[in-house]
């Protein structure tokens, strides 16, 4: 399966159903620009190794392109393009003044030392310095990148430009102009979207069991808030596999243990004393098939496919990863009656707080955490309400409603631009 083709097929299918002008859909079948570059890095042993990095600006009609940079061995130009398309939909849906972009480096960052990682991050920014810009394309963290990496990259950009420019990148360390609340934003946003959904569905958190695939930044923050709300999280996994405990896992203890040992173990910590709890090991694949009330794929794209869609037992799925369910698998699940909260809303909290960070940087202000959280909630509430109206009135799936809303906004902006540029020679 080619992830970009899958993303384009889905866009065309949902776009046609939403009544989007075919000429506009055709424009959205092609990214505005994609740069792939060689990234030579001096390794600690003195040798030079060349990595490959990509940056795609998919569509900028609603504003400068925006999206993260991932470091992962499976990164390809096509994957970056698919993710940039989804960012275009996501930013339009939550109504922030951005187009969609994305970047990535094909690398296993766990194999690099800290200094090698810094050189690679700086090399990426040197290669991409002309495609990015505070009013052109603004990167941020994604899979296996974090605030420290954003800090190195913004420093590299400022060295090139010979001026301060914190708005070049978001998700920075607080000391370099990062925003309060950005670190937790994707997970908190997913939690808030889940709560808005729960209100409509009249879920009682204490009666709900949850399985979480992916215990990175987003998965951890979401699960922590959900547990506080009363949900029972019975299974959690990371890239190495997962654990299952029917009585529920304690997310904070699990996280502390993972930080210390890099492994997942069901532990309960009271103060400084931690006790191991009975648990079963479970593979990532089996976790997806558990009979739980809510399934949260929060790792990578394409984990639910035609191979396993039939076996998914959870009646509700909230997509915290980008693109965890292929288009065909989505159709199988919908036929079965599974309800899916789409990624473009569920994980939009990250880019929303990135927008607040960028706005603070441009203005030279710092907003308090309370204000960030309040604005995040307000933005998501509005997007959820807009989406729900289409979902109910047009009797379409949540993903369909999300694409309809986003594409109508993008289409309106494209037609407002006029056609002058098409006549120029
Ligand atoms: N990488 C995140 C996403 O996929 C955040 C992007 C951003 O903050 O620009 O939504």
Q: Is the CB of 68 under 6 A from ligand 1?
A: yes
The full 3-state SS of 392-413, as one line of letters, equals HHCCCCHHHHHHHHHHHHHHHH
Q: Residue 274 pLDDT > 90, yes or no?
A: no
138/50 same-domain check = yes
- Atom 9 of ligand 1, nearest CA residue: 67
Residue 401 lies in a domain: no
74/103 same-domain check = yes
88/216 same-domain check = no
CB 215 within 8 A of CB 297: no
Instruction: Single out the residue in 274, 309, 341 at which a domain terminates.
Output: 341
pLDDT tens for 211-226 read 999 999 999 999 999 9
How distant, in Å, are the alpha carbons of 32, 65, 116, 139, 143 from that of 106? 22, 21, 14, 17, 12
Atom of ligand 1 nearest to the CA of 66: 9
Q: Pairing relation of β-strands 65-72 and 232-238?
A: unpaired
Task: Using the mean position of ligand 1's atoms as its centre, give its distance from the Cα of residue 421 in Å.
Answer: 30
Atom of ligand 1 nearest to the CA of 68: 1
Q: Which domain holds residue 217?
A: 185-341
State the catalytic residues: 102
Residue 425's pLDDT band (boundaries 50, 70, 90)? low
Task: Using the mean position of ligand 1's atoms as its centre, give its distance from the Cα of residue 185 in Å.
Answer: 10
pLDDT given for residue 266 in this prediction: 79
88/191 same-domain check = no
How distant, in Å, are the alpha carbons of 69, 166, 186, 210, 290 from that of 153? 11, 10, 21, 37, 41
pLDDT tens for 159-195 read 999 999 999 999 999 999 999 999 999 999 999 999 9
330/191 same-domain check = yes
Q: In the sheet where 99-106 sits, what is the strand order?
A: 33-42, 48-59, 99-106, 65-72, 137-141
Produce one character per residue of 232-255: b if its CB has 16 or more CB atoms within 10 Å, e if not: bbbbbbbeeebbbbeebbbbebbb
Q: Is the CB of 140 under 6 A from ligand 1?
A: yes
Residues 391, 400: Cα–Cα separation, whole Å = 8
pLDDT given for residue 315 in this prediction: 98
Q: Exposed, middle or buried by CB within 10 Å (0-12, 13-18, 19+), for 268?
A: middle
At 127, which CATH number? 3.40.50.10860
Residues 176, 180: Cα–Cα separation, whole Å = 12
Q: Is the CB of 354 under 6 A from ligand 1?
A: yes
380: Cα separation from own chain's centroid = 15
194/336 same-domain check = yes
Atom of ligand 1 nearest to the CA of 139: 9
Per the DSSP assignment, residues forming a β-bridge with 38 are 52
398: Cα separation from own chain's centroid = 18
104/220 same-domain check = no
pLDDT tens for 51-73 read 999 999 999 999 999 999 999 99
Task: Using the mean position of ligand 1's atoms as its centre, give its distance from the Cα of residue 388 in Å.
Answer: 23
Instruction: Single out the residue in 341, 365, 380 at which a domain terminates.
Output: 341
DSSP code, position 344: H
**Residue 184 neighbours by CB distance under 10 Å:** 24
Residue 261's pLDDT band (boundaries 50, 70, 90)? confident
Instruction: State the helix-helix crossing angle for 3-17 and 327-336, rounded to 10 degrees.
Output: 50
Q: Is the CB of 347 under 6 A from ligand 1?
A: yes
Q: Is the CB of 322 under 6 A from ligand 1?
A: yes
The secondary structure of the chain in percent helix, strand, coil, rounded to multiples of 5, reads 50, 20, 30
153/54 same-domain check = yes
Of the residues 55, 67, 80, 343, which should be mutated to test ligand 1's pocket, given the most ligand atoms within 8 Å of the CB? 67
Average pLDDT over residues 127-155: 97
**Residue 38 neighbours by CB distance under 10 Å:** 10
Residue 19 lies in a domain: no
Q: Is the CB of 66 under 6 A from ligand 1?
A: yes
CB 297 within 8 A of CB 320: yes
Q: Which residue has the tokens 């109206």?
A: 389
Atom of ligand 1 nearest to the CA of 90: 10
Residue 272's pLDDT band (boundaries 50, 70, 90)? low
| Rg of the chain (C-alpha set) | 21
Tally of domains in the chain: 2
Q: Is the CB of 351 under 6 A from ligand 1?
A: yes
Residues 6 or more apart whose CB falls under 8 angstroms from that of 2 comprise 78
Helices and strands, number each (H, E), in the chain = 15, 14
Instruction: Single out the residue in 136, 166, 196 at which a domain terminates.
Output: 166
Biggest CA–CA distance in the chain, Å, is 72
- Atom 8 of ligand 1, nearest CA residue: 351
Q: Residue 404 pLDDT > 70, yes or no?
A: yes
191/148 same-domain check = no
Q: Residue 154 pLDDT > 70, yes or no?
A: yes
Q: Residue 273 pLDDT > 80, yes or no?
A: no
């Amino acid at each position: 399966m080619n992830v970009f083709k899958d993303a384009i097929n889905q866009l065309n299918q949902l776009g046609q159903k939403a009544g989007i002008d075919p000429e506009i859909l055709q424009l959205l079948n092609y990214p505005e620009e994609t740069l792939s570059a060689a990234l030579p890095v001096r390794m600690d042993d003195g040798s030079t190794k060349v990595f490959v990095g990509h940056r795609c600006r998919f569509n900028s009609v609603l504003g400068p392109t925006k999206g993260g940079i991932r470091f992962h061995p499976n990164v390809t130009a096509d994957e970056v393009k698919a993710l940039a398309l989804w960012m275009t939909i996501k930013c339009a849906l939550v109504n922030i003044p951005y187009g969609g972009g994305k970047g990535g480096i094909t690398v296993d960052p766990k194999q690099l030392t800290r200094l090698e990682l810094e050189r690679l991050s700086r090399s990426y920014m040197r290669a991409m310095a002309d495609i990015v810009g505070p009013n052109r394309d603004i990167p941020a963290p994604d899979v296996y990148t974090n605030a420290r990496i954003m800090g190195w990259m913004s420093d590299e950009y400022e060295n090139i430009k010979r001026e301060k420019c914190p708005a070049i990148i978001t998700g920075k360390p607080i000391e370099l102009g990062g925003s309060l609340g950005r670190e937790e934003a994707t997970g908190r946003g997913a939690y808030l979207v889940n709560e808005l959904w729960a209100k409509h569905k009249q879920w009682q958190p204490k009666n709900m069991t949850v399985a979480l695939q992916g215990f990175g930044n987003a998965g951890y923050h979401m699960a922590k808030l959900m547990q506080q709300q009363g949900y029972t999280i019975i299974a959690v996994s990371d890239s190495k596999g997962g654990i299952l405990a029917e009585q529920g896992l304690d997310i904070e203890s699990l996280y502390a243990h993972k930080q210390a040992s890099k492994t997942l173990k069901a532990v309960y910590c009271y103060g400084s004393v931690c006790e191991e709890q009975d648990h079963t090991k479970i593979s990532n694949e089996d976790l997806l098939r558990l009979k739980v009330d809510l399934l949260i794929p929060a790792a990578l794209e394409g984990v639910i496919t035609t191979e396993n869609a039939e076996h998914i037992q959870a009646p509700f799925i909230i997509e915290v990863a980008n693109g965890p369910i292929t288009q065909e698998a989505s159709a199988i699940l919908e036929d079965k009656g599974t309800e899916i909260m789409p990624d473009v809303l569920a994980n939009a909290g990250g880019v929303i707080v990135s927008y607040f960070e960028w706005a603070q940087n441009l203005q030279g202000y710092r907003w308090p955490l309370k204000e960030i959280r309040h604005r995040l909630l307000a933005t998501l509430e509005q997007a959820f309400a807009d989406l729900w109206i289409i979902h109910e009135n047009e009797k379409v799936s949540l993903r369909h409603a999300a694409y309809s809303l986003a594409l109508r906004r993008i289409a309106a902006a494209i037609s407002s631009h006029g056609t002058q540029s098409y006549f120029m020679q």
